[in-house]
Chains A and B, each alone.
Chain A
Amino acid sequence: MPPTDTTSPADPLPERAADGTPGKPPTRVPCGIKFEKVVKRFGDNVVLDHLNFEVAAGERVTLIGPSGSGKTTILRLLMTLEHPDGGIIRVGDDPLWHMERGGKLVKANERHLHEMRKRIGMVFQQFNLFPNMNVLRNLTEGPVHVLGLGKDEAVERARGLLDMIGLADKEDAHPTQLSGGQQQRVAIARALAMEPTVLLLDEVTSALDPELVVGVQDLLRDIAANTDVTMLCVTHEMGFAKDISNRVLMFDQGRIVEEGTPEAIFEDPEEDRTREFLSAILAT
């Protein structure tokens, strides 16, 4: 049984819900995220040890913390690139890695994962555009082959996004012909073309030359200001984090050591660990 959405408010884009077969989750309902006692191990290395946290639908949360504290792992678990060793992850009320069978939660099958993934999009540090496709096809591939959009509709959607990211004239270019900043903007557009309700951003500007960072950040500010997408963002750029996020979670060794508004965390942290971490990144 694919996940059903029982408690979500009215679909903001009703025309997308109309195509739903019964039980298919309406993809545009804003989704929150909930980690319940999530455990993740790599061999003997316990990266997340019964981690709990919650992100409300439409909230923008920034994850910070020293290298190896588990930030990427959290995003990868959400994108189903890694599987948890324990606990429950919920995305919009439905368990991501489990499905309900006779009142009990059992391991999800590929079909359930496929339905759940429609709610989630991710942008990677290294862009990961498809180098064998031009920009336009990078943007239409998912809408056509996953969402079942007609070719024309997918192209129209892609062009709209290219307009938004200021690369309308690059639709025929191949990714290698673009600068890093342009590639990353295309990667963001590619994720948005799937109309995810949760957007995961893992240090999306850290592979860019300094002068290209601003363009990508401006785009994300725009998205934060004009959409209702739930954002989970790993970044060490404090100014940027302040602009886009409602809340900052400071991680250390897979645990949240402190959380609060960006102002509170960056200007007046309570924990020594946070203070040390912030002064360390300011020093670089």
Chain B
Amino acid sequence: MNWDWHYSGQVIPDLLDGLRVTIIATIFGYLIALVLGLVWALLRRSPSRVLNQAVRWVTEFIRSTPLLVQLFFIFYVLPAWGVTLGALTAGIVGLGVHYSTYTAEVYRAGIDDVPRGQWEASRALNLPRRRVWFAVILPQAVRRIIPTLGNYLIALFKDTPFLLGITVVELLGSAYDAGAHSLKYLEPITVAGLFFIAVSVVSSLALRRLEHRYATN
């Protein structure tokens, strides 16, 4: 089997389209994971035992079932209940919800790490609950967990090929399609792999810098 440079060049535009989909899924999925994870983490601290236990079980359940099962559920089962989502949207929601159960744990650890004195000073200053969370606790918690949250961004990115399972043509899907079309898989799959590596490396470097910035001030 010989590497065909010309053919490699030909498949690149299609792969770039796939990469675009992968990146869209990653960014929006991650945004959902960040916001929903925070919601879970805050609900876990709710004074209502029923609520925080319910959240605990739901997130535990989601975390311990495979992502692909959840994607199938959202894309193939939900329509039976009248919730029909486009493939990419379903994929984004699936990735976001799945990863929110991980980010929730990260937030929780970050919040637990904020010294008790910060809560007590907030109470002594009589700050309203919203200010305590958003001006005092979360800024300190998030700073400590940026590296861990960043790792989940990369993990989520590497899980995007699961969207193939619900017909989304993302990066790997576009490589597969190109290969199926010409019955030559080597070049498109390899190039797709290189794209994955390139994005991972670039985002790792970006994260390292972010981490460094937050560690130093």
Contact = CB atoms under 8 A, between A and B. Distances in A.
A117 B124 CA distance: 7
B125 A124 contact: no
Interface residues on B, range: 10 to 19
Interface of A is mostly: loop
A56 interface: no
B74 to A, nearest CB: 37
Contacts of A146: 125-128
A174 B127 CA distance: 20
Interface in B30-53: none
B136 interface: yes
B121 A145 contact: no
Contacts of B124: 79, 81, 117, 120-122, 124, 191
Contacts of B136: 130, 132
Interface in A103-128: 114, 117-118, 120-122, 124, 126, 128
A194 B124 CA distance: 10
B4 interface: no
Given A132-B136, A145-B131, A114 B117 contact: no
B131 A128 contact: no
B118 interface: yes
A79 B125 CA distance: 10
Contact of A142 (B118, B127, B140, B217): B127
Contacts of A166: none
B35 to A, nearest CB: 21
Contact of B117 (A121, A128, A174, A194): A128
Nearest to A123: B124
B121 A194 contact: no
B117 A142 contact: no
B125 A80 contact: no
A130 B120 contact: no
B143 A132 contact: yes
B206 interface: no
Given A131-B140, A133-B135, A145-B127, 9 more contacts: A79-B123, A81-B124, A114-B126, A124-B117, A126-B117, A128-B121, A132-B136, A145-B135, A146-B126
Interface of A: 79-81, 114, 117-118, 120-122, 124, 126, 128-133, 141-142, 145-146, 174, 190-191, 194
15 contacts: A79-B123, A80-B123, A81-B120, A120-B124, A124-B120, A130-B135, A132-B139, A141-B125, A141-B127, A141-B131, A145-B127, A145-B128, A146-B125, A174-B217, A191-B125
